[in-house]
Structure 1
């Protein structure tokens, strides 16, 4: 009995400490609800027999696919998911029963359930609803993108609203469970990668996603940097350029690898350029072709459009290795004359023409990155290709043109980033001591100063961590006295301006009532004060202000009738203070 009571007590404490509702979302009526499936999942986890682990896993949270790796000794290993694949589609869906599907199962049912299947949400993370890129994305996806109470871009599925961080958390949870199944113990710590050109809001939103998934995100690192880590672990050295064109984002970084030190020289990119855009370009072409031949606009049919989208993605992949492919979709739609079929042969040259403008957009970031790094393309020893889109032959040709050399295929474009993240996890744990990473901040950091002006404190491509802020505090302390003197001078000059304005106004009003020599004395005092204002002698300005005030006080003396007496005293030697003229102003 005592043992049973003890077990019940322990279980009550475990359940009480379980985060029952880390996922919060808004229902259609605006009320906050909890995710029931996640509640059950966490409840089960409270009674899990898995021992707590100290591993730091590496996760590549991609736009289209995600990957997880873990350190085995001093080498990273990519872990296969429950379906046996080494990468997992970053797709989340809710079936008609309200069940949550993540990864391959979610992607399989997208054709029949397009409005409740969420993909590519990484491009929305940390973005506002009114952002032009968000508005552009709304026209490209079958699910709803809605405005959140704080103005952010959220998505809607199955009648509920989710933030992109929550959707990312579903994928991260899948990655976490994949790692736990392989390791046989619970995982709490992770290194998560993000596009190098993500801003601070997007990075924080990614950390939020990890926190929601039950992970302590030890470090957020840039995807090109992670890829370079996995490449350089074999003691390779030199100047390396990483060209990372993934499913939704594009980054390019220049690194110097020497004696195990990975120093990022510069980074650049475009957070809205990737495989999704290539798919959309091909999708638009297919829709227009069918509209021309059959007179039916498939863009208005969500089911047909989703079938076309999947066909476009498959065709894009096939054209990386073949010169042409056939897209054959029977019963794509129907009209009064009967069922319609879609059949078209697509050549690689035609595909390259359709996406050429997207590929050309990678040139400027590469040139800017080289410029910021202070090197020429000839000085780059090797160019690494990362991301699935770098398998497109036209992309490889453009990279060769930009850098003047054939790009290397020494890393797996789908797995290199996750492996690099796992390596960084090993560095943080102390398992890997031969490597040191010196990353940079991709965007300038600053503060808002008077007038809403952005004042830059830390320039882009500054090696982090940096001590700029601490240095500014010390500088402020060193120059505190100078700052005070400067403030006193400005305040005194403002007082002088006010004094001149007041004196000139009084002189203009009473000039006819005072002797000319008094008016002349006042004008001279004002002129002297103006002259002193042109300089920065604080004491002189103060002296001239006093002199001007003394001169103008004679107006009052003469107006009170005491102007003829020496020293401004009253006539007859009376001790009574003369009363000044006044007029009552009715309010």
Structure 2
């Protein structure tokens, strides 16, 4: 509490949220939080996320969940779930990974408060709480939740939709490519968050994979309506914990003064679930207020996200140009640099739409850059750059006719 108001403690990175991700590098270093999440694309087998669904479970209970993660889930001698970490040759219980995240939160909070933190309350599921708030005191009247439901479940519906469309159009199953799966997952999470305030979001995944014909990209739009359709059964599962929490608190829906839920579509769905025991004008007021606050936040959030994305694209593009050096044909490089400067000018100008337009044109030029590299004699699939993203695979293996990985020697010609 600061000045009588609750304040979210920031971590050492200055962020108010910490991803529940733990990773181990090939050198055995442990990474926790955002730094672990950032390297997940290139180190999927040793990056652990969504471990809450494995806590206290037997291997026989998590067959489906184990297929949704990029790391290996195995069974110990007692039938319990263990998470395998090849980087350090060790198996972890899911509780150990969660403890490592909690330890970081405790350490960060202790540094922020300049005091030792000894107690914490931890929730492990999509939770609903009925609170009574007054005079700066929050009293929890009841809680309820679904221990098998989390944000990752919603992300997966978007991942499956993207991968399904790509397989239909290109005949390639991205779910079997761990690096592609990781990029799909990150993009799905971002799209889900954007749809909390936007009616649609653009999804761009350049160089998601490559074939003998060249690089393949994903460019599509996901609307809030489509997202709701994809997650319809998950949204249906929200009904029970809400009703349970109200019943345990001995309250009816009409007794609530305020409801805090994101994305906005969940509010509409829950209002219809509870058969609105409320007068119609009260329902209209709640919906109107939710829309009002959503619109107020939309532009600010969009501006911040666009600025961050533009900064990332600028950094990645400059990095690619520097690393590729003379391999980039001069005319192509000049075009990329011109569009890069336009994006820098747009960022300085501060207009969200101008930044978006500049990013789109720069990405097009970078795609042309990648295509020009593929067209060069001796160029191998996966060698091109991805605008605002990663380069292609850096290992020396290639796939045989049956899709198996085979070792291959190579010589780097200057």
Q: 2:155 aligns with which of 274, 279, 289?
A: 279
Native 8 Å contact 1:377 1:402 kept in 2: no
Shift of the 73–97 alpha-carbon distance from structure 1 to 2, 3 Å rule, reads same
Residue 358 of structure 1 is matched in structure 2 by 234
Shift of the 135–365 alpha-carbon distance from structure 1 to 2, 3 Å rule, reads same
Shift of 1:99: 0.8
SS in 1 for 2:13: coil
TM-score by length of 2: 0.61
Mapping of residues 567-586 of structure 1, within 5 Å: none
Residue 9 of structure 2 is matched in structure 1 by 79
SS in 2 for 1:351: helix
Matching of residue 194 in structure 1 with residue 65 in structure 2: no
**Cα distance in 2 for residues equivalent to 1:78 and 1:264:** 18
Residue 269 of structure 2 is matched in structure 1 by 398
**Cα distance in 2 for residues equivalent to 1:268 and 1:165:** 22
**Cα distance in 2 for residues equivalent to 1:363 and 1:182:** 38
**Cα distance in 2 for residues equivalent to 1:85 and 1:372:** 35
Shift of 1:255: 5.2
**Cα distance in 2 for residues equivalent to 1:294 and 1:284:** 15
**Cα distance in 2 for residues equivalent to 1:179 and 1:371:** 35
Shift of the 376–86 alpha-carbon distance from structure 1 to 2, 3 Å rule, reads closer
Residue 313 of structure 1 is matched in structure 2 by 189
Q: Deviations over 1:505-549 (max 9, x none)?
A: xxxxxxxxxxxxxxxxxxxxxxxxxxxxxxxxxxxxxxxxxxxxx
Shift of the 179–375 alpha-carbon distance from structure 1 to 2, 3 Å rule, reads closer
Shift of 1:346: 1.6
Native 8 Å contact 1:366 1:402 kept in 2: no
**Cα distance in 2 for residues equivalent to 1:295 and 1:107:** 29
Mapping of residues 283-294 of structure 1, within 5 Å: 283-294=159-170
Shift of 1:123: 2.1
Q: Deviations over 1:320-364 (max 9, x none)?
A: 222222211111112222221111122221111111211111112
Residue 299 of structure 1 is matched in structure 2 by 175
Q: 1:323 aligns with which of 194, 199, 208?
A: 199
Residue 35 of structure 2 is matched in structure 1 by 105
Shift of the 360–148 alpha-carbon distance from structure 1 to 2, 3 Å rule, reads same
Shift of the 97–324 alpha-carbon distance from structure 1 to 2, 3 Å rule, reads same
Native 8 Å contact 2:144 2:241 kept in 1: yes
Q: 2:218 aligns with which of 339, 342, 348?
A: 342
Q: 1:153 aligns with which of 81, 101, 116?
A: 81
**Cα distance in 2 for residues equivalent to 1:352 and 1:282:** 10
Shift of 1:165: 1.6
Shift of the 326–188 alpha-carbon distance from structure 1 to 2, 3 Å rule, reads closer
Matching of residue 119 in structure 1 with residue 52 in structure 2: no
Native 8 Å contact 1:331 1:341 kept in 2: yes
TM-score by length of 1: 0.44
Structure 2, unaligned stretches of length 5 or more? Answer: 277-282, 291-414
Native 8 Å contact 1:80 1:86 kept in 2: yes
Native 8 Å contact 1:251 1:267 kept in 2: yes
SS in 2 for 1:279: helix
**Cα distance in 1 for residues equivalent to 2:192 and 2:49:** 18
**Cα distance in 2 for residues equivalent to 1:266 and 1:179:** 27
Residue 218 of structure 1 is matched in structure 2 by none
Native 8 Å contact 1:111 1:303 kept in 2: yes
Structure 1, unaligned stretches of length 5 or more? Answer: 1-70, 196-248, 410-587
SS in 1 for 2:226: helix
The alignment of Structure 1 onto Structure 2 pairs a total of residues equal to 279
Shift of the 293–255 alpha-carbon distance from structure 1 to 2, 3 Å rule, reads same
Residue 45 of structure 1 is matched in structure 2 by none
Native 8 Å contact 2:130 2:245 kept in 1: yes
Shift of 1:366: 2.3
**Cα distance in 1 for residues equivalent to 2:170 and 2:183:** 17
Shift of 1:188: 5.0
Matching of residue 174 in structure 1 with residue 104 in structure 2: yes
Shift of 1:316: 1.2
Shift of 1:183: 3.3
Shift of the 362–259 alpha-carbon distance from structure 1 to 2, 3 Å rule, reads same
SS in 2 for 1:352: helix
Shift of 1:384: 3.5
Q: 1:384 aligns with which of 259, 272, 296?
A: 259
**Cα distance in 2 for residues equivalent to 1:259 and 1:345:** 45
Shift of the 321–333 alpha-carbon distance from structure 1 to 2, 3 Å rule, reads same
**Cα distance in 1 for residues equivalent to 2:23 and 2:105:** 16
